[in-house]
Structure 1
Amino acid sequence: MYKVFYNEKALILSEKPISNLKNLAFNNEGQFEEALALLRNSSNTEVNIYHHNLNSLWENFKNHLEYLEAAGGLVQNQKKEILFIHRLDKWDLPKGKLEIGETPKIAAVREVEEECGISNLILKDLITITYHIYFQDNLKLKATYWYEMDYDGNEELIPQTEEGIGIAEWKNQSEIPQILQNTYENIKLVLEKIPLINQ
């Protein structure tokens, strides 16, 4: 199953109908537009498109939109604080698009370093991949690879203001609930994957 966010609502791609959701059986690519219109113009917060061959459905969906990849990090310091950025009036995790020839791992580290002004990150495991659709000249589907990272330095955080980042800040566990009230659905998915956050 894939969950793709569009205006903070979820388009789900799966192998079968899901109870209590608006379901569309996949027959042609016009249904992608139908599903997005439902999310845009109705009270539906989730729409499910289903097809017995999920891989085929996903490839059709990726080919229907302009597909691009990004990578970012969930960084913890020695105090178990998490590194957040504040941009466009929301809390976010540092991330950015892959450059030509870059792997997601390299891009993730580079983006955290650039957006927050720190170095010598310790790259760990892939946490998850999130997906969202946004409009910039046309509809784009962005896949973001999220990696867990550790940081044991003491550099001053320097937000990358030219990227619209106003704040780069370590947040402790008690501050996470407040962050969750003013962040993106994709970021909630990333945070949910880390056991420390769920304690």
Structure 2
Amino acid sequence: MYKVFVNEKKLLLSKYPADIEKNLRFEGFATLEIAIDLLQNTSCPMLNVYGENIEEIWEDFTHMFRVIEAAGGIVSNSSGELLFIKRLGKWDLPKGKIEEGESLEQTALREVEEETGLKNLILEKFVNNTFHIYTERNGDRILKTTYWFKMTCVGDQKAVPQIEEGITHVAWKNNEEIQEDVLPSTFKNIKLILNEFWSEAD
């Protein structure tokens, strides 16, 4: 199953109908166009497109967009706190686009360093990726894939926000602060990857 966020609404691409209000059987590109239109232009909060060949659905879906790849980090410290940035009034995780010649791991480390000023980072393992779509000002439709890595920060460096990228705060948050402060003011794909990170840690 693939989960793609469309304006903070969830589009599922799966093999079977889901236990939600709106399911569409995959019958080619038109089905995907209808699904995106419903999520973007109606009050429909979630939609599932289903069909036997999930990889065929995904391939057709990706051909509808210009694909941009990014990587980022879910960074913890010795106290078990997680690192967040604040940009445009929302809490987020540090991430950025892959540059030519970079591996996913190199991008993730570089972006965390650039956006937070922290350098003593140990990359541990890949967690998962998230997908969301948006439209650029020139009308290009973008599918952004972000690859997330678990990292640990050693030492007690001071985090510094990358102001020129619109980041206003960098903060370590404990579990209580994440529940009360971060989750009410973040994106659904960030909630999704945090839940995966926590489920692996259990």
* TM-score (norm: length of structure 1): 0.95
Letter in 2 for 1:190: I
Asked if 1:185 corresponds to 2:188, the answer is yes
Q: How does 1:27-42 map to 2 (within 5 A)?
A: 27-42=27-42
Q: CA deviation at 1:195?
A: 3.1
Q: Residue 63 of structure 1 corresponds to which residue in structure 2?
A: 63
Q: Residue 159 of structure 1 corresponds to which residue in structure 2?
A: 161
Seen in structure 2, the aligned counterparts of structure 1 residues 126 and 198 have a Cα distance that, compared at 3 Å, is: closer
Deviations 1:57-90 (A, max 9, x none): 1111111111111000000011111110000110
CA distance in 2, matches of 1:111, 1:85: 12
CA distance in 2, matches of 1:63, 1:124: 32
RMSD over aligned Cα atoms: 1.6
Q: Residue 146 of structure 2 corresponds to which residue in structure 1?
A: 144
Q: How does 1:6-155 map to 2 (within 5 A)?
A: 6-136=6-136, 137=138, 138-155=140-157
- Tell me the matched-pair count: 199
8 Å CA contact retained: 1:191, 1:197: no
8 Å CA contact retained: 2:23, 2:50: yes
Letter in 1 for 2:193: V
Deviations 1:74-119 (A, max 9, x none): 0001111111000011000000010112111110011000000010
Letter in 1 for 2:88: L
CA distance in 1, matches of 2:135, 2:50: 24
Q: CA deviation at 1:191?
A: 1.1
Deviations 1:149-186 (A, max 9, x none): 00112221111111110001111121011210000001
8 Å CA contact retained: 1:80, 1:172: yes
Structure 2 gap ranges (5+): none
8 Å CA contact retained: 2:5, 2:189: yes
Letter in 1 for 2:122: I
User: Segments of 4+ in structure 1 off by > 6 A?
Assistant: 196-199
CA distance in 1, matches of 2:200, 2:54: 31
For 2:63, what is the secondary structure of its paired residue?
A: helix
CA distance in 1, matches of 2:201, 2:155: 25
Deviations 1:18-47 (A, max 9, x none): 133311111221222211111122221111
CA distance in 2, matches of 1:170, 1:50: 40
Identity of aligned residues (%): 47
CA distance in 1, matches of 2:74, 2:8: 20
For 1:64, what is the secondary structure of its paired residue?
A: coil
Q: CA deviation at 1:196?
A: 7.9
Structure 1 gap ranges (5+): none
